[in-house]
Structure 1
Amino acid sequence: MASIDILHDHSKTPAQARKAVEDVARKLSERFDMDYAWVGDTLKFNRSGVDGRIALLPKQLHVTADLGFLLSAMKGPIESEIRRVLDEKFS
Structure 2
Amino acid sequence: MADIRIERDHELGLKAARKLAWKWAEQAEAEFDMSCTYEEGDEADEVQFTRSGVSGCLRVTGNRFELDAKLGFLLGAFKDRIESEIVKNLDELLAAGSKPAGRKKKG
| Deviation per residue, 1:30-70 (Å, 9 max, x gap) | 22221111234111000001001000123110000000111
Distance 1:12 1:46 in 2: 26
Aligned to 1:28: 28
Alignment-derived partner of residue 67 in structure 1: 71
CA RMSD of aligned residues (A): 1.2
Amino acid at match of 2:54: V
**Which amino acid is the alignment partner of residue 48 of structure 1?**
S
Number of equivalent positions: 91
The alpha-carbon deviation at position 25 of structure 1 amounts to 1.1
- How far apart are the structure 1 equivalents of 2:34 and 2:9? 25
Higher Rg of the two aligned structures: 2
Whether 1:55 aligns to 2:59 is yes
Higher relative contact order (CA 8 A, sep 6+): 1
**SS state of the match for residue 17, structure 2?**
helix
Contact 1:7 1:60 in 2 (8 A): yes
Moved over 6 A (4+): none
CA contact (8 A) 2:24 2:90 kept: no
Q: Percent identity?
A: 41
TM-score (norm 2): 0.78
Cα distance per residue 1:1-42 (max 9 Å; x no partner): 000011111121211111111112112212222111123411
SS in 1 for 2:87: helix
